[in-house]
Amino acid sequence: MTDMTSDPRSARRAFQELLHAQRVWDVDLPAFDAAAAPRTPLPLFHAWFAQAVAARQAEPHTMTLATVDGEGHPDVRTLMLHDADDRGWHFATHSTSAKGRQLTAHPHAALGFYWPALGRQVRVRGPVTACTPDESRADLHVRSTGALASALVGRQSEVLGSCEELERASDAAWDRARAEPEADVASWTRYVVEPREVEFFQGDARRQHVRLRYRRDGGEWTRELLWP
């Protein structure tokens, strides 16, 4: 048997065969009547999120966050949604992390949710605002002990010397989080993406996907269908 690691052409063919064998939406997809959608995007997002949970979508509260760095180059990562309300879509991180620094320099972002159990995506774009220190502290302390310990470790996105160094810092942070559940982390910041555009995408087996975009102009929302 050929060792694919020593034969780049075989490794590439194996990867392509594996890639092309994958299927999307191997489930019955729900219909989406865009004409019956609410006038504003938030109620629809809440409804779709609840339906994703009911469909047993794994980790429906995770999302991608896209930002740009100081040179205008895009960056993306996956993190958790902390809330979605009339102000916008909320998440939190260290202000000293890569994404925190990027948001300070360029306070605009895009979010992406993907719920393959229903063939659905939601995209959110808009300016980003840092919440108050009190809101950020409350956000941190409502979470688990592990989340507090992770925040206490800090140094997110910095170069790590060794796994042993992380283990020592993490153990110390866990001890402190258990002993001081109200411990403060000055860099922990809650952010909110204030939506200017929100798009809802419903996949269709025949590729007649439904895309409904909400655009906000001032205080009013405009709804429009997009070609798939």
Question: CA 187 → CA 20, 91, 137, 183, distances in Å?
Answer: 44, 14, 10, 12
Residue 3's pLDDT is 56
Q: Give me the tens of pLDDT residue by residue for the chain, a chain 228 residues long.
A: 445 557 899 999 999 999 999 988 888 999 999 999 999 999 999 999 999 999 999 999 999 999 999 899 999 999 999 999 999 999 999 999 999 999 999 999 999 999 999 999 999 999 999 999 999 999 998 988 988 898 998 888 888 889 999 999 999 999 989 998 898 899 999 999 999 999 999 999 999 999 999 999 888 999 999 999
Q: C-alpha distances in angstroms, 20 versus 13, 24, 45, 77, 204? A: 10, 11, 32, 25, 19
Distance CA 76, CA 65 (A): 6
> Residue 5 has what pLDDT?
59
The Cα 187–Cα 133 span in angstroms is 10
At 44, which helix (H) or strand (E)? helix 41-54
Q: Say how far apart CA 213 and CA 123 lie, in whole Å.
A: 9
Contacts of residue 118, defined as CB under 8 A and 6 or more positions apart, other chains included, come to 29, 30, 48, 51, 52, 55, 57, 202
pTM: 0.90
- Separation between Cα atoms, residue 194 and residue 89, nearest integer Å: 7
User: What's residue 2's pLDDT?
Assistant: 47
Residue 31 has what DSSP assignment?
A: P
User: Please, how many CA atoms are within 13 Å of residue 219, restricted to the half-sphere of its CB?
Assistant: 0
Give the HSE-up count for residue 2: Cα atoms under 13 Å, Cβ half-sphere. 10
* Cβ proximity of 122 and 37 under 8 Å: no
What does the block give as tokens for 154? 């800090």
Handedness of CA 131, 132, 134, 140 (dihedral sign): positive
User: Which tokens belong to 60?
Assistant: 């429906």
Query: 213-218 — which CB contacts under 8 Å span 24+ positions?
Result: 214/40, 214/41
Which residues make Cβ contacts (< 8 Å) with residue 33, sequence separation at least 6? none
